[in-house]
Amino acid sequence: MCHKWYSASLFPGATSGGNRGTLKHMGALRSRLESQTYPDLGTMMDGYARAAVELGSESFQKELDFTADTVDNLDEILVLVSESPDLDLDFEVRLWGSYLGEVLRRRYNGSWQMTPYPGGAIAVPSVEVRGSHLFPLVKVYRRLTMGEEEDLGSFVAMVTERLGSAARVN
């Protein structure tokens, strides 16, 4: 099964917009990512996450290296993104949520799956770790729309508390 993002939003209230500097780059990045067909969900999420690393460095001067140590950098980026009047919520959620998910997937040796969000009618990408489902895109959506109380550092600390130390991969 091939995966491709479609124009229909996974998140209510998502809007399009943008016409300056970073937003122009974002438009090109979005077009590039959405025009690709991915062989599976994991490959697609990895592609979006790598694009987030690129954008984090080039447009926000923040290092993102797929470690939990860079989650605070991601949170700082999301504060700036959320303040943009031209916020493309759907794309930002996919881009930065994929990065957060890849941090968690790599840390705990998990896998990407499409999973119905509890209480929801639609399946969204989740990271399955030791029988638990983490919803990084939903977390990023909440961070962008609800603000500080949804900070990512606290989320990662809670995940670490519940799942324990990172997986050891030889």
Q: What CATH number does the domain containing 136 carry?
A: 1.20.120.1090
What pLDDT is stored for residue 3 in this prediction?
A: 52
**60 found inside a domain:** yes
The residue range of the domain holding 48 is: 21-156
Contact 133, 116 (CB under 8 A): no
| Burial per residue of 51-71, b for 16 or more beta-carbon CB atoms within 10 angstroms, e otherwise | bbbebbeebbebebebebebb
What pLDDT is stored for residue 65 in this prediction?
A: 98
Instruction: Supply the pTM of this predicted model.
Output: 0.86
Lowest mean pLDDT among 6-10, 48-52, 91-95: 6-10
Domain count, the chain: 1
Residue 145, classified by CB atoms within 10 Å of its CB into exposed (0-12), middle (13-18) or buried (19+), is middle
What pLDDT is stored for residue 169 in this prediction?
A: 60
pLDDT in tens, 114-167: 999 988 889 999 999 999 999 999 999 999 999 999 999 999 999 999 998 777
Residue 164, by phi and psi: left (phi above 0), alpha (psi -120 to 50) or beta? left
**112 found inside a domain:** yes
- Which residues touch 6 (CB under 8 Å, ≥6 apart)? none
